[in-house]
A and B are shown apart, each in its own frame.
Chain A
Amino acid sequence: MLQRTIRGLAIAFLCLVANGAKSFELTEIAPGVFVHQGVTALMSRDNLGGIANLGAIVGAEAVAVIDTGGSRAEGEAFLAALQQRTTKPIRYVIDTHVHPDHIFGNIAFRDTGAVFVGHKNLPRAMATRGPHYLSSFRETMGALLDDVILVPPTLTVERETILDLGGRKIALKAWRTAHSDSDLTVLDPQSGTLFTGDLLFLQHVPIIDGSLLGFLSVIEELRKIEAVRVVPGHGPAVAPWPQALEAQKAYLDHLTRDLRADIARGETLARAVTTAGRGEKPNWLLFEDYHTRNATAGFAELEWEAP
């Protein structure tokens, strides 16, 4: 076991060096608001699972980290880069939802003394899905997973929670099932910055792992949030708010429209998913990796509303 851990660490270290972890980019998009932009790709050994946007908000006393990355190695690089920008302690580590690219890095923050925070459903989602993620990602991540241990939240959000970073209060909101059943957003009113987690995709095709109709309805709720900029879960580090919602809404609307028509015609799931929403292909990256999956989940959901 020890030997494997050492080997894992060695490989992770080599990967870090190969990827130039010293240049782990952290951009200050507003005073005291930092974002690391993930690459738009699938998680792999080469990118250390670093595909999601990660963030941090620095108050007068303490720091809140928003998502931790897709491996311990990425989490450690994030932590190191953050510590170069601020000496304040990390008081909170906030997970925006259960997906591996957002939570595998938690372990790198376990010894910082931070409180881990998530949606009320997050502990259950981690327990249900965690073991599967740890085994299924081995194929593409290999030994990088050897030292990933899932760290569940000890502070959970039922509806809304305010966290105080010292002179800077941030608002956390837990959402109904949409992208997943553990979606949480973070709003920093001081700078007008909203972190949506994967409730917003830009450029990277949206992923439905919760509810298509829930996703569409949450978009309308999100729209009402007063902010000037948004940090999406995937895509550019920052985008204008709320205009950034439109492309994703168009994708989900298009898919819903096509699936409803297929279901009304009596089409089978297996056939409908080969055509529904495919007109959206030119608008998105990684379309072939996720679109059929979205159509499958959407079909099984929308079928229940048919007469």
Chain B
Amino acid sequence: MSPWTASLHARKSPNESEPEGSRSLLRPIAAAAALCLWAAAASAQEPKIDPWPGLVTDIFHDRAITSHEGVVALDAPKRAEDAAIVPMTISLLEPGLRAATLVIDENPMPMAAAFSFGEGAGVAKIETRVRVNSYTNVHVVGQTGDGALHSVVKFVKASGGCSAPAIKDQDEASANLGKMKYREFASENPALREAQIMIRHPNNSGLQMDPITRAYIPAHYVDKVEVRQGEALIFSMEGGISLSEDPSFRFAYKPNGAKVMRVEARDNQGNVFKGEWPIGGAS
């Protein structure tokens, strides 16, 4: 079974409601801990299986992917310092690139973000942040105008110590749900502009329990973002729980003269968040 499929199955049971009773507080924790011990013991004893071939099937429908530098590039730290916030920068080296997908191979939900780029938007770089659960390969797969797929890969070591790919402040993350921030930056390339969109969202994995209701909190994450200059699409993103809480996208693009940056984000529970800011006055 591929990790992707496994993760979908794994998420079904936690959503089932727990029976009332004093022991129900302890049971899911013990069960999760036992499962985790089992998984850890299993992974320590069995030879490591590379999840990538399975991911190629699940995410890219077994299409041919050429490993090849020169179309996309990935800048990733050698080690995940904070497991919950690991910066990833994708550079789009070939003009006319239509899509780029970021995959954290060993995460429970490996497909972190699938970006599609607007025609003529000239997106040259996009930086976002992801969770890294364990030692993992990180792939970026770029799709050129002719539909061909090209990949690059980086290995990222897991963070040490008590760092967990979890939310820092759960109450605050929920309290500010959907708040957005827009920033502009001086661009290194005078033909391009650089901007950043930030969205307050817990981007919960769902594998956790509300101690009051004693039911598992269902997964809650931003699954779609669209960013436009005026009416023209700069990029859209489909994402999952591998993106960090408060998803952030910093990107370089070719301005078309529009005066307004528009963002629409949606989460998997049907919430829609919109933001609009004047373009210009880059700092």
Q: Is the CB of A297 within 8 A of B82?
A: yes
Q: Is the CB of A211 within 8 A of B169?
A: yes
Q: Is the CB of A124 within 8 A of B170?
A: yes
Interface string of A254-269 (1 = CB under 8 A from B): 0000000000001011
Q: In whole angstroms, how far apart are the Cα atoms of A121 and B209 in the complex?
A: 11
Chain A residues with CB under 8 A of B183: 266, 306
A138 CB to nearest chain B CB (Å): 5
Q: In whole angstroms, how far apart are the Cα atoms of A241 and B165 in the complex?
A: 34
Stretch of A10-18, A22-30, A126-134 at the chain-chain interface: A126-134
User: Closest chain B residue to A303 by CB distance?
Assistant: B198
Chain A residues with CB under 8 A of B30: 149-150
Stretch of B34-42, B140-148, B228-236 at the chain-chain interface: B34-42
Chain A residues with CB under 8 A of B181: 303-304
Selected from A149, A177, A211, A293, the residue in CB contact (under 8 A) with B82 is A293
Interface string of B1-36 (1 = CB under 8 A from A): 000000000000000000000000110111011011
User: Closest chain A residue to B183 by CB distance?
Assistant: A306
Q: Does A42 contact B (CB under 8 A)?
A: yes
Total of A-B residue pairs, C-beta within 8 Å: 148
Selected from A99, A134, A290, A301, the residue in CB contact (under 8 A) with B33 is A134
Interface size on B, residues (CB 8 A): 58
Q: Is the CB of A209 within 8 A of B33?
A: no
Q: Does B186 contact A (CB under 8 A)?
A: yes
B32, B43, B162, B169: most-surrounded residue (chain A CB, <10 A) = B162
B25, B36, B84, B89: most-surrounded residue (chain A CB, <10 A) = B36
Q: Is the CB of B37 within 8 A of A134?
A: yes
With A131-B35, A266-B186, A297-B82 known as contacts, the answer to whether A126 contacts B164 (CB < 8 A) is no
Q: In whole angstroms, how far apart are the Cα atoms of A138 and B41 in the complex?
A: 9
Q: Does A62 contact B (CB under 8 A)?
A: no
Chain B residues with CB under 8 A of A268: 87, 89, 127, 250
Chain A residues with CB under 8 A of B32: 127, 130-131
User: Closest chain B residue to A286 by CB distance?
Assistant: B161
Q: Does A123 contact B (CB under 8 A)?
A: yes
Those of A134-159 within 8 Å (CB) of chain B: 134-136, 138-140, 145-146, 149-150, 152, 154
Interface size on A, residues (CB 8 A): 52
Q: Does A101 contact B (CB under 8 A)?
A: yes
User: Closest chain A residue to B34 by CB distance?
Assistant: A149
Q: Is the CB of B37 within 8 A of A181?
A: no
Q: Does B136 contact A (CB under 8 A)?
A: no
| Contact residues of B: prevailing secondary structure | mixed
B68 CB to nearest chain A CB (Å): 24
B109 CB to nearest chain A CB (Å): 14
User: Closest chain A residue to B169 by CB distance?
Assistant: A177
User: Closest chain A residue to B187 by CB distance?
Assistant: A266
Those of A286-307 within 8 Å (CB) of chain B: 289-290, 292-293, 296-297, 300-301, 303-304, 306
Q: Does A100 contact B (CB under 8 A)?
A: yes
Interface string of A89-133 (1 = CB under 8 A from B): 000000000011100000000000000000001011011111111
Q: In whole angstroms, how far apart are the Cα atoms of A292 and B78 in the complex?
A: 12
Point out residues on A near B: beta carbons under 8 Å: 4, 42-43, 99-101, 121, 123-124, 126-136, 138-140, 145-146, 149-150, 152, 154, 177, 181, 207, 209-211, 214, 266, 268-270, 273, 289-290, 292-293, 296-297, 300-301, 303-304, 306
28 of the cross-chain contacts (CB-CB < 8 Å) are A100-B162, A101-B162, A123-B25, A127-B29, A128-B207, A129-B166, A131-B36, A132-B164, A134-B33, A134-B37, A135-B39, A135-B134, A145-B37, A146-B41, A149-B30, A154-B25, A181-B171, A211-B168, A266-B185, A266-B186, A268-B127, A269-B87, A269-B127, A270-B89, A289-B161, A297-B82, A297-B85, A300-B129
